[in-house]
């Protein structure tokens, strides 16, 4: 393995507070990365053991999905203690060891803070639900029923049904945007806001480099509890919730995206600032995601980056769609910073979702490394893993159980990472894995690909290294991203460095007259085509052309 670990001195966030711009982030779903205890569940010590591998990919930072104390109803996105590690994942000292190991290898650590809601097992909720007078009575969103006993408004839970759950102790409803066991915190209470800022402070002092912030546009709800209007049929696109989910039928203007969100984000940024830490906020909104990104990442007192859903859609984006998305970012988030992803722990893996051949996967990876913004790679995508087919008996995700079989939930992208080919559990665990290892993944395991120079994993390494070698790609500006038929092309510029990037997004060979300039070839290792003396380039199907201005 080609280990290119950077010296730990390269991590100095305070003197380099812009470290996150253009960073390549690797998302780890801790249950499924590496088990070190034989209980079939991945853990922090397992991640620490894999840091050399992660560093060998050239990753700048890992984002670890939640590992906090939790009853695991939503697999850790239901937190019952924000300041401790769930025993199944290890302990606080395992976490400290992980941070130390990552930093020594030049890899930063982002943790996933789920601040919008807690678990119903959190002591705050247990106290809040007892009566209407207790010290935490207003820490959650409680509301009286309508006169006929029905919920106070039409808000829906993403995971199915009403967003309101009845509680007989208080004789009131409480709000939950996700599971009934994930009650929403009341961000109109300053005590709640302060308690959450303390959580951020706790982890910053423990050495984290920043946060992935879960569902940041859901933090604040409309105080007047107004019902959402219906969304016209033609606008019901399905990137956030699957098509089968009636959650898509509303325009979510009152249950999320409230203007008061910005006040909390500003406070959170102020807590992070002395540490040089960075945050990527997840903005789930199928209609206005980019506008919200523009709003939340403008200036330097809100979020650093927002996680964009644009390339998580079902269909592989065409040249025109890529140009359209990047053009919209320029219009509505010019001053902001996107973080792009093709796959994550909530979506069908893109190799399957896009029915992508190895050539398409390579081209899209190169594209991601050339786009303005930071990039998130989801564990296993560097192996080209497809969505695993998980049988109904093995399904763990409550979201999948609710909408089965039209939507099978998120387990198919959460099956264990495959490290070894000659082991039925892919080297993930010595025990019984919490979700079955997909046998079709085994030939794509890390060990199999390390041994094959042609394998996708090496392309990921080269594409990431290429981005790191050129400031124009990691932090530069771009000219207008243009589409010409199936070609999408643009230039990235930083100081005296200008890089031309041309992508043939089709299965047909084509010729393209490149923009004027004296271009020298680069990107040979990424299979780049070479521009002729006459300023033309002949592109094979799914081929890229990369060139640098002389
Ligand atoms: C996370 C999901 C989680 C939900 C509720 C999301 O956006 O990525 O995995 O179920 O928030 O916390
Ligand atoms: Mg374990």
Q: Which of 68, 74, 398 to mutate to test the pocket of ligand 1 (most atoms within 8 A of CB)?
A: 74
Q: What are 462's strand-pairing partners?
A: none
Share the mean pLDDT of the chain: 96
Cα–Cα distance for residue pair 177/171, rounded to 1 Å: 20
Question: Do residues 411 and 435 touch, judged by C-beta distance below 8 A?
Answer: yes
Q: Which of 76, 80, 178, 402 to mutate to test the pocket of ligand 1 (most atoms within 8 A of CB)?
A: 178
Per DSSP, the residues of 509-538 read -EEEEPPSS-EEE--GGGT-----TTSEEE
Catalytic residue, from 74, 209, 214, 382: name it.
214
Which pLDDT value is given to residue 8?
Answer: 47
Distance from Cα 93 to the centre of ligand 2, integer Å: 15
Distance from Cα 320 to the centre of ligand 1, integer Å: 30
- Domains, the chain, ordered by start: 24-116+190-469 (3.20.20.80), 478-549 (2.60.40.1180)
Beta carbons within 10 angstroms of residue 26's beta carbon: 24
6 pLDDT higher than 70: no
Distance from Cα 115 to the centre of ligand 1, integer Å: 11
Catalytic residue, from 60, 74, 94, 282: name it.
282
Which pLDDT value is given to residue 411?
Answer: 98
pLDDT in tens, 18-32: 999 999 999 999 999
480 pLDDT higher than 70: yes
5 pLDDT higher than 60: no
Q: Is residue 173 classed as helix, strand or coil in its secondary structure? A: strand
Q: What is the pTM of this model?
A: 0.97
Pick the residue whose CA is nearest to atom 1 on ligand 1. Answer: 214
Q: Which of 211, 227, 337 is nearest to 275 (CA)?
A: 211
Q: Which of 160, 183, 184, 215 to mutate to test the pocket of ligand 1 (most atoms within 8 A of CB)?
A: 215
Residues with CB under 6 A from ligand 1: 74, 77, 114, 178, 214-215, 282, 284, 345-346
**Closest ligand (CA of 414):** 1
Active site residue 214: yes
Distance from Cα 397 to the centre of ligand 2, integer Å: 19
1 pLDDT higher than 70: no
pLDDT in tens, 189-233: 999 999 999 999 999 999 999 999 999 999 999 999 999 999 999
Percentage with pLDDT > 90 across the chain: 95
The tokens for 462 are: 């080269």
pLDDT in tens, 265-313: 999 999 999 999 999 999 988 889 999 999 999 999 999 999 999 999 8
The pLDDT confidence band at residue 77, using thresholds 50, 70 and 90, is very high
């Amino acid at each position: 393995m080609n280990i290119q670990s950077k010296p730990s001195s390269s991590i100095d966030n305070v003197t380099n507070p812009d470290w996150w711009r253009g960073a390549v982030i690797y998302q780890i779903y801790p249950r499924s990365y590496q088990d070190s205890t034989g209980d079939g569940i991945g853990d922090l010590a397992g991640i620490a053991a894999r840091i050399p591998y992660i560093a060998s990919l050239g990753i700048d930072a890992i984002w670890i999905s939640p590992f906090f104390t939790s009853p695991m109803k939503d697999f850790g996105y239901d937190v019952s203690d924000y300041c401790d590690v769930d025993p199944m994942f290890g302990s606080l000292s395992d976490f400290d060891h992980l941070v130390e190991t990552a930093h020594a290898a030049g890899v930063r650590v982002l943790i996933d803070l789920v601040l919008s809601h807690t678990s119903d097992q959190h002591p705050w909720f247990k106290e809040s639900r007892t009566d209407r007078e207790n010290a935490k009575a207003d820490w959650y969103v409680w509301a009286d029923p309508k006169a006929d006993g029905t919920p106070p408004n039409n808000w829906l839970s993403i995971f199915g049904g009403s967003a309101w759950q009845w509680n007989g102790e208080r004789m009131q409803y409480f709000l939950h945007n996700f599971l009934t066991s994930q009650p929403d915190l009341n961000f109109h209470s300053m005590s709640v806001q302060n308690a959450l800022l303390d959580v951020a402070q706790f982890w910053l002092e423990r050495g984290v480099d920043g946060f992935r912030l879960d569902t940041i546009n859901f933090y604040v709800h409309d105080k007047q509890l107004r019902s959402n209007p219906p969304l016209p049929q033609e606008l019901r696109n399905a990137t956030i919730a699957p098509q089968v989910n009636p959650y898509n039928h509303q325009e979510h203007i009152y249950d999320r995206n409230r203007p008061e969100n910005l006040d909390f984000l500003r406070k959170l940024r102020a807590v992070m600032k002395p540490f040089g830490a960075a945050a990527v906020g997840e903005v789930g909104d199928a209609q206005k995601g980019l506008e919200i990104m523009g709003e939340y990442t403008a200036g330097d007192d809100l979020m650093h980056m927002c996680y964009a859903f644009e390339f998580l859609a079902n269909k592989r984006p065409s040249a025109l769609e890529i140009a359209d998305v990047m053009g919209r970012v320029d219009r509505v988030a010019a001053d902001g910073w996107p973080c792009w992803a093709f796959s994550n722990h909530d979506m069908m893996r893109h190799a399957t979702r896009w029915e992508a051949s190895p050539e398409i996967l390579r081209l899209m990876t190169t594209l991601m490394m050339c786009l303005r913004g930071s990039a998130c790679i989801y564990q296993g995508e560097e192996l080209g893993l497809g969505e695993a087919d998980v049988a109904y008996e093995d399904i763990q995700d409550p979201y999948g159980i609710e909408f089965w079989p039209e939507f099978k939930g998120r387990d198919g992208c959460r099956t264990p990472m495959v490290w070894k080919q000659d082991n039925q559990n892919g080297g993930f665990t010595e025990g019984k894995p919490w979700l079955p290892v997909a046998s079709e993944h085994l030939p794509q395991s890390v060990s199999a690909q390390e041994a094959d120079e042609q394998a996708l994993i090496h392309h990921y390494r080269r594409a990431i290294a290429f981005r790191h070698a050129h400031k124009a790609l990691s932090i530069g500006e771009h000219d207008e991203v243009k589409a010409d038929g199936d070609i999408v092309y643009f230039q990235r510029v930083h100081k005296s460095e200008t890089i031309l990037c041309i992508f043939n997004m089709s299965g047909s060979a084509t010729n393209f007259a490149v923009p004027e300039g004296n271009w020298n070839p680069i990107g040979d290792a990424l299979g780049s085509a070479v521009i002729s003396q006459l300023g033309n380039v002949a592109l094979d199907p799914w081929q890229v052309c990369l060139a640098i201005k002389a």
